[in-house]
Amino acid sequence: MRNSIIECVSTVFYCNICKENHKIEVPITIKQKATSFPFQYIYFHGTRDNIMSNLYIDADFKVRGAESFNLDSLETNFITRNKSLNIIRELAKQLKDVRREYKILNERFNDLNEKYLALKFEFFCLEKEINENKNI
Ligand SMILES: [Zn+2]
């Protein structure tokens, strides 16, 4: 479980704003948490992350549906209230996941840092012992 946090699968989708294919990395955990397929995934890109792609990804990580919006000119795009609410809900879910993963990674970092400091101390003691023996 802990290792799967950063495991990703790459997939490709065609972006109707950039008019090109984008290769993206989707965390495996998003699929594991999906309650139905295809599952929704929101991806930001562009020079200022101003392009938002609303993706529908199947169980094999193939993008089955993609619609992109330029957030700088959102008023010129047609976006329904229902679709907006749907995107906000999905973003809230992704944000919650990121916060949880941050907490887990932070705990993992603290564990490793403690081990590192213990080893560093052990190394320091051994080095001291070696130097003392040299002087005999
Ligand atoms: Zn794009």
Q: How far is the CA of 82 from the centre of ligand 1 (A)?
A: 23
Q: How far is the CA of 122 from the centre of ligand 1 (A)?
A: 52
Torsion sign (Cα): 96, 48, 62, 28: negative
Q: How far is the CA of 7 from the centre of ligand 1 (A)?
A: 23
Q: How far is the CA of 132 from the centre of ligand 1 (A)?
A: 64
Q: How far is the CA of 69 from the centre of ligand 1 (A)?
A: 9
Q: With 50 as the cut, is the pLDDT of residue 124 above it?
A: yes
**Mean pLDDT within 65-75:** 87
- What is d(CA 32, CA 87) in angstroms, rounded to the nearest whole number? 20
pTM, whole model, 2 decimals?
A: 0.71
Neighbours of ion ligand 1 (CB under 5 A): 15, 18, 51
Q: What is the pLDDT of residues 72-89, one digit of tens each?
A: 887 666 678 888 888 999
Q: What is the pLDDT of residues 4-37, one digit of tens each?
A: 456 899 999 999 999 999 999 998 988 888 889 9
- What is d(CA 41, CA 50) in angstroms, rounded to the nearest whole number? 16
**Mean pLDDT within 55-80:** 88
Percent of the chain scored above 90 by pLDDT?
A: 68
